[in-house]
Structure 1
Amino acid sequence: MKAFAHDQSKNPPPKNWLDQLLRRFSRVAYGTAVLVMYALASTAFGLALAPALWTWSAVHHWSAHLPGAFPWILSGVALALCFFLFGLGLLVVIPVYNWILPTRIKPFKGGYYTIHALPWFLHNGLFYLVRFTFLPFVTLTPFGIWFLKAMGMKIGRHAFINTEYISDPQLITVGDDAALGGSVRIFAHYGGGGNLTIAPVVVGKRATLGLACCVMGDVVIGDDATILPESVVLPGSRVGAGETWGGVPARRIQREEMDRIKAEIRGMAEAAG
């Protein structure tokens, strides 16, 4: 009970009677939220699957009277086609769910089991239905950019997004001509010590996020800045315009140090050649 009380003390005051109920019966509320998410996922998958199932049934019925192996070949091709029909359908269904349901995330710091965290839970739950199924197939395509925008992510003109490892798209802004390299992880939240913190992430114009770097919540990356590959930008970081940051945790790298590193790399390349 002491641990529970300590956790609750980190929350802002209850918003209403429902918030009080969620905090008092946190485990039950969490289990119920998960079951509701499963139910929503089932209906979303079902709606996205309907056109695919109709297509496969039509092709299977039409090809049943063809000779030899043609029915099996066409049915196989139809099944493969249906996977992409299902995925494209999901790109439409999920943003509609996200628009209809209470998924409007606001910055927050407090316990996990509060009414403030519900929109965050629901928004990411819906987004992950696509992220872990079909989003890798449309990353770097107009379909992927459209989906991210439809989920609330603010993306500037000619931005290059080569990653599906995104959370909280509604609170992420990417400026014009910015580049997010392969496997970049970017999310607008972090947790620890019984707290959940939800805070926006802003990536400025022409900024470059290197391969597999990690950008956490409450980070602002200025215009023309560079985050080196595999770096971890911690919450609260403010990367100035034109600056280069790297390392774990990421820190600013002065121009002189960066020039020295580049010179060493060129020297090793020349020696190897």
Structure 2
Amino acid sequence: MALIKSVRGYTPEIGKNCFLADNCTIIGDVVMGDDCSIWFNTVLRGDVNSIKIGNRVNIQDGSVLHTLYQKSTIEIGDDVSIGHNVTIHGAKIHDFALIGMGAVVMDDAEVGEGALVAAGSVVLSRTKIGPNELWGGAPAKFIKMVDPEQSKEINRKIAKNYLMYSTWYDAELENRIETEAERDAEQK
């Protein structure tokens, strides 16, 4: 079961139909929309400031989201995909953006609608990535523009896929409960 912990009077708010992996951690001032998935070993640490997550967001395995005390917050729009082992620290990520595996996005950076941050990139503090731009490298630099419709479609598909993946775990749990119930009935 996911670790959901209150701190400083804030209790995480989880939307409808969200998948929370067994060992993810969600702490404090975190508000999550509907149809999100938070995967294994992911930490959403809203202890020092707020983390707001839109609808149909997937935050993949090993990612860490945190902020600066009284200085930065995290805002993530709808249909955003955050790859494995990403660190987001006090940044704003707009709708349909994709943050590639192992990327780092620092305080007060902003990733525009439909933008892509390449795997392994480091987006420095206060960097503004425009809509539908592809950035990569360490530090991240502009590479090229991406087709807005293609970018939206890719992220809709990824979000839909991650929702589908999460149902596999729900089905496993239901099967385990049914098996345990059958075994208990046989023992009686």
The normalised TM-score by structure 1 is 0.38
Return closer, same or farther for 1:212/1:223 CA change in 2, 3 Å cut-off. same
- 2:64 matches 1:165: yes
1:138–1:144 CA contact under 8 A, matched in 2: yes
Could you tell me the percent identity over the aligned residues? 28
Higher strand share: 2
* Inter-CA distance 141–212: structure 2 relative to 1 (3 Å threshold): closer
Structure 2: 5+ residue runs without aligned partners?
Answer: 11-20, 26-36, 147-188
Pairing partner for 1:187 from 60, 72, 89: 89
Find the counterpart in structure 2 of residue 98 from structure 1.
8
| SS of structure 2 residue aligned to 1:158 | coil
Counterpart pick for 1:155 among 19, 44, 53: 53
Q: 1:202 to 1:141 in 2, by over 3 A?
A: closer
The structure having more radius of gyration, on CA atoms, is 1
Q: Is the 8 Å Cα contact of residues 207 and 225 (structure 1) preserved in structure 2? A: yes
Q: Determine the C-alpha separation between the residues in 1 that align with 2:46 and 2:124.
A: 25
Which residue identity lines up with residue 115 of structure 2 in the other structure? A
Paired residue for 1:138?
24
Q: 5+ unaligned residues in a row in structure 1: which ranges?
A: 1-83, 101-134, 189-200, 257-273
Cα deviation digits, residues 10-58 of structure 1 (max 9, x gap): xxxxxxxxxxxxxxxxxxxxxxxxxxxxxxxxxxxxxxxxxxxxxxxxx
Instruction: Report the count of equivalent residues.
Output: 119
Q: Closer, same or farther in 2 for the Cα pair 1:136/1:213, shift >3 Å?
A: farther
* Alpha-carbon shift at residue 98 of structure 1 (Å): 2.5
C-alpha distance in structure 2 between counterparts of 1:144 and 1:176, whole Å: 22
In the alignment, residue 24 of structure 2 is paired with which amino acid?
A: V
Looking at structure 1, the residues matched to 82 and 103 of structure 2 have their Cα atoms a distance apart, in angstroms, of: 9
Q: 1:136 to 1:210 in 2, by over 3 A?
A: farther
Give the match for residue 115 of structure 1.
none
1:34-183 correspondence runs (5 A) = 88=3, 91=4, 94-95=5-6, 97-99=7-9, 137-138=23-24, 140-141=37-38, 152-162=50-60, 163-168=62-67, 171-183=73-85
Relative to 1, partners in 2 of residues 1:247 and 1:210: Cα closer, same or farther, differing over 3 Å?
same
1:229-257 per-residue CA deviation (whole Å, 9 max, x = no partner) reads 0000011210000000000110000259x
Tell me the CA shift for residue 153 of structure 1: 1.2
> For the residues of structure 2 that align with 1:142 and 1:247, how far apart are their CA atoms?
25
- Could you say what secondary structure the match of 1:254 adopts? strand
Q: CA RMSD of the aligned region, Å?
A: 3.3
Residue number in structure 1 paired with 2:92: 202
Q: Which has the higher helix share?
A: 1
Q: Which residue identity is paired with 2:8?
A: N
215 and 236 in structure 1: CA distance in 2 versus 1, 3 angstrom threshold = same
TM-score by length of 2: 0.54
